[in-house]
Amino acid sequence: MSRSHSSFRFSTSKWIEKLIPLALALLVLILLAALVITGLSLMGVTPSA
């Protein structure tokens, strides 16, 4: 059975529409935090230094 990509389109409720970009932004922030902590430990300003 052949189906195009448009067959897989989805619609979301209003609150999910707002929640998803917020969740993605939060994930980016946590990623940056992990990288910043690694950077700080490299610069020797963390307890492990």
Shortest CB 23 distance to another protein, Å: 6
Q: Quote the DSSP letter at residue 21.
A: H
CA distances from 36 to 23, 32, 40 (A): 20, 6, 6
Site for another protein in 13-42 (CB under 8 A): 20-21, 23-24, 27-28, 30-31, 33-35, 37-38, 40-42
Residue 32 structure tokens = 């940056």
Tokens linked to 43: 């610069």
For binding to another protein (CB under 8 A), which residues are involved?
A: 1-3, 5-6, 8-12, 20-21, 23-24, 27-28, 30-31, 33-35, 37-38, 40-42, 46-49
